[in-house]
Amino acid sequence: MDLYTKHKEILNKSIDALHLRTFFAAYPEHPKAYPEDGDANGRNTFKTHLGRKFEELKVDTSQWIGSEESPYTQEKTGISYPSLTVSEYLEKSKGSLKDWNKVHVTERAGILVESLERFKERFFEVAYATMHTTGQGYMMAFQASGPHAADRAMEAIAGGLEEIRRFPERTTWDKPMGKFNVVLEKKWKAIPRGVSLVIGCSTFPVWNSAPGIYASLITGNPVIVKAHPGAILPIAIVVAEIRNVLRESGINPDICQLAPDTHDKPITKELAEHNDVRIIDFTGNSEFGSYLENLEGKEVFTEKTGVNSAIIDSTTDARKTAANLAFSLTLYSGQMCTAPQNFFIPANGISTPDGTVSYDDFKQLLIDEINGLVDNPKAGPFVLGAIQNANTCDRVKEAGKIGTVVLESRDIQNPMFPEARVMSPSLIEVDSTDKSQFNMELFGPIALLIKTSDTEQAVKLAAQLATEQGAISCAVYCTDNDKKAWMEDELTMAGAPVSFNLHGAIYVNQHAGFSDFHVTGGNPAGNASLTDPKFITRRFSWVGVREMA
């Protein structure tokens, strides 16, 4: 059985899910959906990588590099990866381009889904690799780098298959001309742009990289994965499985390459600026993202930084609202691009069925919920995870200078990892009349409380921030339907996706594959969206061929 036939059912379900936008998961998110011994085997396999060469990529080289450090132990992992020169990576990619383009899109789809099926067998291993490179807690590491990332990859494969099959491969064109007909045989080819560069990030090395990798591969482009030097292993495992399936299918594995580097000898700019690189996917800071967007002759897809707002106008339950926002802020220590930062609360309080909750009372609810979560020994350290980069710890300590600290960040002890960098969120009050205090992203466990004259001022500030600085999420609590409609219009016109009245086990941080568009491309937080049609179609061109019949 060929690989496309083997995976045709899940591909068709994935394509249907793209259109329906209802809940669909190609890969279940709960660890219990996988073999009972998966966790133990994954943990043990991860440990075998420590202090050794990662040889699964099967690259012939004498150069090996690596500088990853675990945020939990603050020790080097000792893992090294095969390294080539920039020109060698590019020569190998260019050499594989024509052959990969000749592989029919359905065959490419089968190969790529097969690589995800192999990846699925390593979800637990990748979870531990993600923990000890990014600082994510175990459950987030398993879900985000495992099933959720695989779903986003599957979404890109399905989108590519759908777009390339949107038009017929060939047709007979018969035009009546009176006494005779003109008959042409026509065919169309989806021609790839060329070498694709995927630049990984340190916090979500698989979730953020997989869509670009698989979108470029399904559309016929060879890919160079330039992993972040602090988080290589999780995506290296994925690249290894892609290369394995390519090799077993009799296809050049250099269609997908891993290009590691180190902090002191980066190669990202050299790769990005090279004329042979035609596509770039990037997740990271706005300064570097804007530099990439301005490179000539490239199709660039970015997810950059944004300033995410939470607007609390009215709610059915003030404590549940505070609890939801506290968890959203605390999750992975605010190191998520979707985490709320600016909390806009009206000076005259928040309307509830039980009466008005004052600004000060809601502030105290939020403080209580944060403390209750981080001080819970069975939840706090594991929800917080660890701080990926020590510079973030310094940023948290310095943030208090911009306003009045109402909840000071504390060092939290992780019982399993005594050396882990763990900090609780800091809450800081700033003045709504001084936008310079809250018009930038403060990455990490930092939240700003902003007392506004009313909800209208809050919405206008949030929309303005989204328009000027970008926003990837916006949480709104409002029980008045007319006001909600107005808020929705104001915020979505600024390109900010809105989440209304979230309570319980769903948070503004979470974006679901096959349903939510992650980043809108409609404000400065990024120029692309996971995964809309443009994320796919900008990676290839339609070229027609005509011949007299």
Q: Using CA atoms in the order 328, 329, 335, 336, what is the torsion angle rounded to 10 degrees?
A: 30
Question: Which one-letter amino acid corresponds to residue 512?
Answer: A
Cβ proximity of 111 and 245 under 8 Å: yes
What pLDDT, in 10s, does the model give residues 30-74?
Answer: 999 999 999 999 999 999 999 999 999 999 999 999 999 999 999
Cβ proximity of 210 and 153 under 8 Å: yes
Token couple for 99:
């052959």
What pLDDT, in 10s, does the model give residues 494-545?
Answer: 999 999 999 999 999 999 999 999 999 999 999 999 999 999 999 999 999 9
Q: Mean pLDDT across the chain, nearest whole number?
A: 96
pLDDT above 70 covers a percentage of the chain that reads 100
Report how far residue 235's alpha carbon sits from residue 252's, in angstroms, rounded to the nearest whole number. 20
Token couple for 527:
């120029």
Token couple for 379:
């939840």
What pLDDT, in 10s, does the model give residues 431-472?
Answer: 999 899 999 999 999 999 999 999 999 999 999 999 999 999
Token couple for 159:
């989108």
What pLDDT, in 10s, does the model give residues 365-376?
Answer: 999 999 999 999
18: pLDDT confidence band, cut at 50, 70 and 90? very high
Report how far residue 460's alpha carbon sits from residue 453's, in angstroms, rounded to the nearest whole number. 12
Query: Above 80 in pLDDT, residue 147?
Result: yes
The region, left, alpha or beta by phi > 0 then psi within -120 to 50, assigned to residue 152 is alpha
DSSP letters spanning 354-417 = TEEEPHHHHHHHHHHHHHHHHT-TTTHHHHH---SSHHHHHHHHHHGGGSEEEE---B---SS-
- Give me the domains of the chain, ranges plus CATH numbers: 57-164+190-304 (3.40.605.10), 309-500 (3.40.309.10)
Rg (CA), the chain: 25
Instruction: Report the alpha-carbon angle 216-218-222, nearest 5.
Output: 50
Report how far residue 117's alpha carbon sits from residue 245's, in angstroms, rounded to the nearest whole number. 10
Query: Above 80 in pLDDT, residue 1?
Result: no
Query: Above 80 in pLDDT, residue 109?
Result: yes
Report how far residue 346's alpha carbon sits from residue 461's, in angstroms, rounded to the nearest whole number. 12
What pLDDT, in 10s, does the model give residues 286-334?
Answer: 999 999 999 999 999 999 999 999 999 999 999 999 999 999 999 999 9
